[in-house]
Amino acid sequence: MATGKALDRFYSVIPAGGVGSRLWPLSRAGAPKFLHQISGTGESLLRDTWQRLAPLSGEERIMVVTGRAHEAAVCEQLPELEAHNLVLEDEQRESSAAIGLAAAILVRREPDVIIGSFHADHVVRGVAAFGQAVRQAVAVADAGYIVTIGIPPREPATGYGYIRATESLDFDGVATVLRADSFTEKPDVDTAVQYLHSGDYLWNAGMFVARADVLLEQLRRSEPELVAGLEELAAAWDTDARTDAVARIWPALTKVAIDYSVAEPAAEEGKLAVVPGHFAWYDVGDFSTIAKLGSNGRRSQLVTMGDAESVHAEDSSGLVMNQTGRVIAVIGLRDVVVVDTDDALLVTTTENAQRVKGVVDALKNSGRSDVL
Amino acid sequence: MATGKALDRFYSVIPAGGVGSRLWPLSRAGAPKFLHQISGTGESLLRDTWQRLAPLSGEERIMVVTGRAHEAAVCEQLPELEAHNLVLEDEQRESSAAIGLAAAILVRREPDVIIGSFHADHVVRGVAAFGQAVRQAVAVADAGYIVTIGIPPREPATGYGYIRATESLDFDGVATVLRADSFTEKPDVDTAVQYLHSGDYLWNAGMFVARADVLLEQLRRSEPELVAGLEELAAAWDTDARTDAVARIWPALTKVAIDYSVAEPAAEEGKLAVVPGHFAWYDVGDFSTIAKLGSNGRRSQLVTMGDAESVHAEDSSGLVMNQTGRVIAVIGLRDVVVVDTDDALLVTTTENAQRVKGVVDALKNSGRSDVL
């Protein structure tokens, strides 16, 4: 095994999509979740992701796949991003197209490239452990597996998907590798408790590492037309023909999540390996999670973000995001969520954080897409 | 008794002062409570007061005493206000100076004038009953009493002062007149319950009706220097000497509430009569009262003021004042208070409404007078 060598062939891919409508009015169609500072590092989630990956693949080997509408913001947040590593989508075609296109472009440039795909809008705490898991995943991927980094559950979460993995694989230099049996959707709370206690399940963090050629072959078996389209696009990508090819091919590509097109079929065929990631990981789906992250779980605390100096709180807990710089006074509210932006204000509680999406739907229906 | 004749000599006085810091960030030093639409009529409290009094004294016989800073706003809201009926204070010297100056000016113009003083920032529901009470008070005042209109308590309120009145006075044409025994400060809740059940107490609504000469004589007995100053000012008022007199006299006037300088001494001397007012009256001291007023006491309701169309509420009750026109989403909060203004936002609950003043003090101390 040549871990060093494999890591030299490693390329990071960051699919940066998804509005995050449960984080309205912070997240908007024009300013999605990954562009915002909500992890507590003082950097955006996208920049956090970049900084985790740069020590592993090098800055010159990180590709970002995002919507054309976000080009300026992404380039501003990632000034080190090289032009040939920015893939702009005219419209979102889901993760199989985004990651598949990155794989198809990169495999033409470097036939033996190993790619790792990491969402732009997740939070990781424990960068060293993250790096160790990625290195191990790269080593396992080099042997032909499609590898996912799974997170040992800390609690019976109902908001995440799970991976069942009971069989160990033997790899030199890799402490633990499991073979994935199956993927499951977000469970109900009883099932989640059972998963937690069984020890057989890990959270699906959507982190996939594989040789690009292996990934594309797996994808081809479930979505042959999609891969044909992606390869045609990739052939034109570094040429003058790109624009025409995108206009012709991209809109017709099948929309399917990579979990369904690659991960689940690979698990069924015994070709999906899981490296447990011993770091804290969060898919920041709602303001309740941001409050929990910001307070490190101390529920009595009020977390302030943005212009925190202008927030005057008494006898309150929860989260106040001050994006406007206005004076915000909060008195006597437990677990409150206040998100203050230029044209919209949200006031709710951490308990009701999931209901924010309903407001977004209601605003859409009432013709207020101007604030979405 | 000549009620008609006495009412012909009636002059309304509206002292319009008091910031209302429990109503921050709606009320500000530059835009006090009386200028805002919070009664639910769609008019400001000042305009409501004007419209209650105009049928009684006539528009040309309403005097407004307010701070010079509010001249433009007052004139805009009261275009019918005649110039000689606007008394501008350079700085507030409390109610004895404000009402006493009005009395001193008016008694020089009309020696037998009867004045009635009514706060600019109270809410009255039941204009006919209010008018009836004022007419009765004017009749009693014509006989030489200082008269206050007291409100039979609806509940054991701890935020109002009370008048004890057990002895009836006989007046032709006036259903009920009582002699005031004494005034009490805001009671604790046990005392308030006792007051309510005894039937011997009325709320002190700060409405005083008296012949101007009688009022000034009463005031002179407790504050002779103040009255001397006011009379000197009044002598200069309708002449070229006004500006000099104000600059010289006004800043030195004693600051004392008319309850202490006139009402309490008059009660001790048996010269204070009380006419019960059978109308709903509120001193809108905090947002809790506004919520109660707006919902007519139905606590499950969410009251919206300002741009109500841009408020999207789910499963919430309380009060949302949208002064900015921004979209405001409120989800899952009981008895919430949200007051959204251009440069400051308040989020609290009706239960904590009295604590708003503490925030105003804290902001003052932290150098944020720009938003006060």
Residue A287 to residue B60: CA distance in whole angstroms: 58
Q: How many Å apart are CA B232 and CA B99, to the nearest integer?
A: 15
**Tell me, what's the pLDDT at A5?**
80
Q: Specify the pLDDT at position A189.
A: 95
Q: Do A103 and A215 form a contact (C-beta atoms < 8 A)?
A: yes
* Integer Cα distance of B186 and B157 in angstroms: 8
A4-8, A73-77, A303-307, B200-204: least confident range: A4-8
For residue B360, give the nearest of B6, B97, B22 by alpha carbon: B22
| Interface residue of A28, A304, A331 to substitute, partner B, most B CBs within 10 Å | A331
Q: What is the pLDDT of residue B34?
A: 96
Contacts of B327 in chain A (CB under 8 A): 25, 343-345, 363, 368, 371
pLDDT of residue A2: 41
Task: Tell me what pLDDT residue B285 has.
Answer: 87
Q: Do A338 and B358 touch (CB under 8 A)?
A: no
What is the C-alpha separation between A199 and A205, in angstroms, rounded? 17
Picking from B310, B322, B327, B357 by the largest number of A CB atoms within 10 A of its own CB, the best residue to mutate is B327
Question: How large a percentage of chain A has pLDDT more than 70?
Answer: 99
C-alpha pair distances (Å), B194 with each of A121, B189, B201, B346: 62, 9, 10, 35
pLDDT band at A6 (very low <50, low <70, confident <90, very high): confident
> Mean pLDDT in runs of 10 for chain B (372 residues)?
71 91 92 92 95 97 96 97 95 93 97 97 95 96 97 93 94 86 94 96 98 98 97 96 94 94 96 96 92 86 94 97 97 97 97 94 92 92
Angle between helices B212-222 and B224-237 (to 10 degrees): 140
What is the rounded distance in angstroms from the CA atom of residue B143 to the CA atom of residue B171?
Answer: 10
- Give yes or no for residue A350 having a pLDDT over 90: yes
- The enclosing H or E element of B125 equals strand B122-125
> What is the distance in angstroms between the Cα of A32 and the nearest Cα belonging to chain B?
19
Measured distance CA(B370)–CA(B372) in Å, rounded: 6
User: Across residues A16-29, what is the average pLDDT?
Assistant: 90
Classify strands B327-331 and B311-314 as parallel, antiparallel or unpaired.
Answer: parallel
pLDDT at site B1: 39
Q: Chain B residues with CB inside 8 Å of A349's CB? A: 331-333
d(CA A35, CA A25): 13
CATH of domain B3-283: 3.90.550.10
Q: A222-275 pLDDT, tens per residue?
A: 999 999 999 999 999 999 999 999 999 999 999 999 999 999 999 999 999 999
Chain B residues lying within 8 Å of A371, measured CB to CB:
327
pLDDT attached to residue A45: 96
Q: Per-residue pLDDT averaged across A308-326, rounded?
A: 96
Q: Residue B166 CA to chain centroid, in angstroms?
A: 25
Domain boundaries of chain A, sorted by first residue: 3-283, 289-371
Contacts (Cβ under 8 Å, ≥6 apart) of B91: B67, B250, B251
pLDDT on residue B205 = 97
The answer for residues whose C-beta is within 8 angstroms of residue B165's C-beta and 6 or more apart is B150, B178, B179, B180, B181, B200, B201, B202, B274
How many contacts (CB atoms, under 8 Å) link A and B?
Answer: 115
C-beta atoms of A328 and B351 within 8 A: no
Find the CB nearest B347 among A347, A351, A358. A347
Q: Which pLDDT score is estimated for A4?
A: 47
